[in-house]
Structure 1
Amino acid sequence: MRRVACWVVTVFSLIIVPMYNLAWAEQTAEPARRQIELATIDYPPLLGDGSRQDLMNEVSDAVFNLLNIEVSYKVYPMARIARSVASNTIDGALGSSDWFYQHDLQHAIYFITFHDLQMNLFYLRQRFPQGLKFSRLEDLSDYSIGYLRGGSLLPLFARAKLQPDLVRNLSQNVQKVYAGRNDMFAAVDIGGWATIRQLYPSEVTKFAISQQGILTISSNLILSQRNADLVPLVEQALQALIDSGEYRRIVEKYYPSPLPPYIDNFIQRPVHSFGSENLSWE
């Protein structure tokens, strides 16, 4: 009888106890972190694949860290990003809502504004010694302008009947102006200066930027329908970063002091999102 009892105890310890321990461990283990992948473009120091420090990536990382969500980035062409997010085949994107409006895909997704940007024209001082002066884009019809394929300014150029020289990346635009192949190029202010400093660090003063901006655009976190539940959470997290001063600390790493007025204005207003009314889009 004693041997039978010992056998029962042994079986219980070998089978039942491990099963109980496994069930207890499953109940007490922390849930796996939610993961999200965002498509973006390579546009330093504003956007990138996360392998270096870029402004919007840093803000995005801080937001999703507050939400305990693991975020990663992958670089794609602008048009592909717009189609993929709108068709609900990828989680979202980091970039600009303008990419979607020019393809009439704005009804399919959700936008949370992360930042405001100023688009300007860059040129060589020796090419325009008196500065680049224009009152409207149509005034620049006699000049060659470099720009990015799929960029936010394309509808404006089209309305002004201008045909910019379209390239794949900002470095090509800078190099063509430096070589005299284009008269100027259009770019986000911090993006243009960062690329100039990278390519021609000892010749930065040869370049100048137009005093007149072409367009102020918003930079956005764009979420597909399948991540609609994140919209109010991202809004709250971004507002928390702004209220704590962490957002300003991140931005000041990329802009000289004082911050441009459009950045200060953004910080002062409530976090803005749009597109949530399209939840039933199919």
Structure 2
Amino acid sequence: MELVMLIPRICLTFILVILLHSNAYASAPVKIVSVMYPPLTFDNNVPGFGEGMLRDIVTESFNAVGLEAEYELLPMSRNVWSINNHVSEACIGAMQWFRESGDEADVDCIDLVNLSFVAFYKVKHFPDGMNFSNLDDLKEFRFGNVRGSSSQRTLDEAGLTTDLTRNITLNFLKLDADRFDFAVAFRVTGEYLITELFPQRVAEFAFVPKSLLKMPLSMIFRKEKRVLKKGFVEGLNEIVRNGTYYSILERYYGKGRVPEDVVPEPLRNLTGMVSRVK
């Protein structure tokens, strides 16, 4: 008789376990912080693109496991503060921010893309093109960079002269005004901004082929956010396999123009990605 009475209770427990597992990541929108840095992150939806390459990747990854993402774009230093003070649950950015603040031990990251900082210039100043062997070769030139950029430490250590601006758009406007010789930016960012700011004069600008610095951009979680991180990884792997991830990259780089080294090695090895990366 006791066994008969236990059967409904056992069945109910079993059903609850299934429901909990199927909604393992279900919750309110995930609060994510990042910086405004086109075309990686926009503050709204831009026709023909989206909300930014990294925002789109993160949004689709969470959607794949039934989660909604909510974004706030802040200055770099406030990103670190927001994670450290548990205001945001995750950050789209560079681990370098947390290394420099001394908080690297408190966070984990999942690399989303590998990007290169390059030096953009006006062709009229270097009509034969420009290249260099090492950063010492560039000491005679002046560089424009964004205040707080992860690339600034490399420029400082090389002893390069820099003019710091408050945002990346202003950096290219000052390049056009001949305020300095080179504007430092991720390649995808510089190409996007030149097209947007100077649509009739794109041919007047170029970039040095050799990168100043290569850096992964990542989804960063506090270490105690293990369940959320696990769900994100599952979603990211899913959109890599089904082609969504690579289609997002092509939306911003152009079809057939995604550099091979943009895709992090762990993602390159997933089924479905190998055939897309040339």
> Does TM-score exceed 0.5, indicating one fold?
yes
For 1:147-186, list aligned pairs within 5 A: 147-186=145-184
Match of 1:47 among 22, 28, 41: 41
C-alpha separation in 2, matches of 1:265 and 1:219: 10
Q: Deviations over 1:150-182 (max 9, x none)?
A: 111122112112242111111111111111111
SS of match in other structure, 1:73? strand
| Corresponding residue number in structure 1 for 2:260 | 261
Letter in 2 for 1:263: V
Match of 1:194 among 178, 192, 195: 192
C-alpha separation in 2, matches of 1:270 and 1:78: 32
Q: Deviations over 1:193-252 (max 9, x none)?
A: 111111110001100011101122111111234533211221121111111111111111
C-alpha separation in 2, matches of 1:90 and 1:265: 25
2:32/2:88 contact within 8 Å kept = yes
| Corresponding residue number in structure 1 for 2:276 | none
2:112/2:263 contact within 8 Å kept = no
Q: Deviations over 1:116-157 (max 9, x none)?
A: 111111000011112122122222122110111111112211
SS of match in other structure, 2:149? coil
1:90/1:224 contact within 8 Å kept = no
| Corresponding residue number in structure 1 for 2:105 | 107
Measure how far apart 1:81 and its partner are: 0.8
C-alpha separation in 2, matches of 1:252 and 1:163: 35
| Corresponding residue number in structure 2 for 1:206 | 204
For 1:77-156, list aligned pairs within 5 A: 77-156=75-154
C-alpha separation in 2, matches of 1:259 and 1:193: 13
SS of match in other structure, 1:44? coil
Unaligned ranges ≥5, structure 1: 1-27, 272-282
SS of match in other structure, 1:79? helix
Using the aligned pairs only, state the percent identity: 26
Measure how far apart 1:86 and its partner are: 3.0
TM-score by structure 1 length? Answer: 0.80
Letter in 2 for 1:268: R
Measure how far apart 1:67 and its partner are: 1.9
Is 1:37 paired with 2:31?
yes
C-alpha separation in 1, matches of 2:39 and 2:215: 16
C-alpha separation in 1, matches of 2:264 and 2:217: 14
More displaced 10-residue stretch of structure 1: 254-263 or 80-89: 80-89
SS of match in other structure, 1:164? strand
C-alpha separation in 2, matches of 1:174 and 1:233: 38
Measure how far apart 1:35 and its partner are: 1.6
Measure how far apart 1:265 and its partner are: 5.8
Q: 1:79 to 1:269 in 2, by over 3 A?
A: farther
Measure how far apart 1:113 and its partner are: 0.9
| Corresponding residue number in structure 2 for 1:11 | none
SS of match in other structure, 1:129? coil
Aligned residues: 243
Q: 1:50 to 1:270 in 2, by over 3 A?
A: farther
1:110/1:228 contact within 8 Å kept = no
Aligned alpha-carbon RMSD (Å): 2.2
